[in-house]
Amino acid sequence: MTQPLKTYRAVLAGTGSIGDAHVRAIEATQGRVKLIAAADIDATRVRDFTTRHKISESFTDYGAMLHATKPDLVIVATPPGQHCAMSIAAMEAGAWVWCEKPLCGSLAEVDTIAAAEQRTGRYTACVFQMRFASSTAHLRDLAGSGQLGRPLVAVCNTLWFRDAAYYAAPWRGTWAELGGPTMGLGIHAMDHLLHLFGEWSDVRAMAATLDRVIEVEDVSMAIVTFANRAVASVVNSALSPRQETYLRLDYQKATVELTHLYSYARDNWRLTLAPGAQDEGLLQSWQSFPPDVGSTHAAQLTALVADMDAGTRPLTSGHEARRTIELLAAIYKSAFTGEIVHAGSIAPGDPFYAAVHGGGRTRARAS
């Protein structure tokens, strides 16, 4: 007889605006995940949130919530500086963790999380929903089969706009946020790029504060070289009135482009064959998309539930999460020191190992 599927009891830490997206993702699991409690330091906000979503319990103390509910899954959606400690506490309480980006603020914290995973037998996965669209899986299959040829050149632009109201939160625009658009905005597209192009080998970068009166950068640019010899240009901006997330991947046989803002589906992609190419097989393969699943929190939570069922490491944990955090640290280090930064070179004792931005020691000033 087939055993009934387990229902996972989840709790949410942080009931700000992103909390609603997590509720929708839980609802999309059709009963596999049940949200039983939420916590927030703002008693009114958490009470309003739990009432609106018909959640049984509300807490203003995170540790008390873990102790009282003993959840299977903890969703961490608090300000970034709290992510590492809260993820570790959740694993020590016996839960798996799904943590909003950025996962944490340093390679040191990534390694501390990894040690806690080893110690507890639980996992912490970062919210990187851009990886989980069915169209991205389709592209990875095509690239992996060799039909597109070698990857050569990429463009990865996160051109967003964040005004004074966005920076009104006391932790925003400061190193307490762990960084500017490099860390808080462009991380999604850069992680998506790494998911498609693989291991990176070195970075040349710059960062500046051009127009916002903030402590962190409001724009950064980087040139990334990959282990497969492909190269990419990366722009992360909080200053761009016409907002766009743009990923362009030039392979030997075709250009693949993705244009969207905060999420995408199959229709956001475009393929252009190399000039003179008449590859009907490639066109047919490209057009044979699987059923469309967009880049949503729900898509990632579905995959996480499958991992919990099987007891297997989630895709956006471990090395995969560390690789993205290491790229961010390398961008900041290159921007602040003028050095070319190589993968694997940021080690204990380096200030950029202790904090991706090297402690925020070097700052570009608003003009």
CATH number at residue 256: 3.30.360.10
In a domain, 120, yes or no: yes
- pTM here is 0.96
In a domain, 20, yes or no: yes
pLDDT tens, 349-365?
999 999 999 987 544 44
Is residue 185 domain-shared with residue 82, that is, in the same domain?
A: no
In a domain, 175, yes or no: yes
Give the rounded percent of residues in the chain with a pLDDT score beyond 70.
98
Q: What H or E segment, with its residue span, contains residue 251?
A: strand 239-251
Give 320-332 as a DSSP string.
HHHHHHHHHHHHH
145 vs 195, 300, 304, CA distance in Å?
16, 24, 26
Is residue 88 domain-shared with residue 50, that is, in the same domain?
A: yes
Is residue 199 domain-shared with residue 81, that is, in the same domain?
A: no
349 vs 108, 126, 183, 355, CA distance in Å?
10, 25, 22, 11
Tokens at 367, concatenated: 């003009």
Is residue 114 domain-shared with residue 244, that is, in the same domain?
A: no
CATH number at residue 68: 3.40.50.720
Give 173-235 as a DSSP string.
TSGGGT-SHHHHTTHHHHHHHHHHH--EEEEEEEEE--SS-SSS-SEEEEEEEETTS-EEEEE
In a domain, 79, yes or no: yes
Is residue 174 domain-shared with residue 255, that is, in the same domain?
A: yes
pLDDT tens, 168-225?
988 889 888 889 999 999 999 999 999 999 999 999 999 999 999 999 999 999 999 9
Structural domains counted in the chain? 2
Is residue 246 domain-shared with residue 349, that is, in the same domain?
A: yes
Is residue 146 domain-shared with residue 255, that is, in the same domain?
A: yes
Confidence of residue 366 (pLDDT cuts 50, 70, 90): very low
Is residue 81 domain-shared with residue 188, that is, in the same domain?
A: no
Q: In the beta sheet, which residues pair with residue 222? A: 205, 234
Q: Taking residues 19-48, what's their average pLDDT?
A: 97
In a domain, 235, yes or no: yes
43: containing domain:
8-130+299-313
In a domain, 362, yes or no: no
In a domain, 95, yes or no: yes
Q: In the beta sheet, which residues pair with residue 234? A: 156, 222
147 vs 116, 139, 151, CA distance in Å?
41, 10, 11
pLDDT recorded at residue 364: 46
State the burial class of residue 367 (Cβ atoms within 10 Å of its Cβ: 0-12, 13-18, 19+). Answer: exposed
Residue 327 has pLDDT above 90, yes or no: yes
Is residue 197 domain-shared with residue 97, that is, in the same domain?
A: no
* Short-list 102, 190, 132, CA closest to 315: 132
pLDDT averaged over the chain? Answer: 95
Per 3-state DSSP, the chain is made up of helix, strand and coil in percentages (nearest 5) of: 40, 25, 35
Residue 164 contacts residue 188 (beta carbons within 8 Å): no
Is residue 95 domain-shared with residue 150, that is, in the same domain?
A: no
Q: For residues 253 and 168, give the distance between their C-alpha atoms in angstroms, rounded to a whole number.
A: 47
In a domain, 367, yes or no: no
Is residue 240 domain-shared with residue 345, that is, in the same domain?
A: yes
Question: Would the CA dihedral through 186, 191, 84, 355 be positive or negative?
Answer: negative
User: Using alpha carbons only, what angle is made at residue 300 by residues 296 and 30, rounded to the nearest 5 degrees?
Assistant: 85
Is residue 150 domain-shared with residue 290, that is, in the same domain?
A: yes
